[in-house]
Homo-oligomer: A and B are copies of this chain.
């Protein structure tokens, strides 16, 4: 079926960008290359996204939505123990980043900052899942402001997973892993790291 109209070009372009970025990194992105991959003229994307930045913004937004899902899945995996929920959220965060390194870089890159409202919202949504996890651990009701200790814990957790993910993506953990594949190294070292950070900053579950 090769009709004049594509059907769902919008999604196809997002998908093509995704794939390009996954294969060759954010820096390899170009509107023309994406159009080529989608089998469409270089002017076509403008109808859906305005300009190149618009497309990237849409991809980043989708990325944050994926990240949010990953965090929620981690949460569920953790069961009822607040600390376990945080642990699995953290693992989910890093796993998402390692599964989509190009997109992850894009999501936190400059040049997209503050431009788009939808992007901001999706970014905040991811953050709020983390915050909710910390609220649970500190027994702070929704709506109530976070106390200092809770803020610190939230910031520590977010930083540690974000940093771990970035270092792994940048290839900086490979030397630490030695001859082991990176995934194996992550599987053992990340939970250990998170355990320490969580124990150090989050109160234990009440019996």
Interface, chain A (partner B; CB < 8 A): 25-27, 105, 108-111, 113-114, 123-124, 127, 148, 151-153, 155-156, 158-167, 169-172, 175-176, 189, 192-193, 196-197, 199-201
Contacts and interface: CB of A to CB of B under 8 A. Distances in A.
A135 B197 CA distance: 19
A167 B156 contact: no
A171 B113 contact: yes
In order of increasing CB-CB distance, the 3 nearest A-B pairs are A200-B200, A163-B163, A162-B163
B111 A27 contact: yes
Contacts of A113: 170-171
A141 to B, nearest CB: 20
23 contacts: A27-B110, A105-B110, A108-B170, A114-B171, A123-B172, A151-B176, A152-B193, A155-B164, A155-B189, A155-B192, A158-B163, A159-B163, A159-B167, A159-B193, A162-B164, A162-B167, A163-B163, A163-B165, A166-B166, A196-B197, A196-B201, A197-B197, A199-B200
Nearest to A154: B176
A145 to B, nearest CB: 11
Contacts of A151: 176, 189
A166 B108 contact: yes
Given A161-B163, A201-B197, A192 B108 contact: no
A65 B95 CA distance: 31
Contacts of A123: 172
B156 A196 contact: yes
A52 to B, nearest CB: 13
Nearest to A192: B152
A120 to B, nearest CB: 9
A105 B27 CA distance: 13
Given A27-B110, A159-B164, A160-B163, 10 more contacts: A25-B110, A110-B169, A152-B192, A153-B196, A155-B164, A155-B193, A158-B167, A159-B193, A160-B197, A200-B201
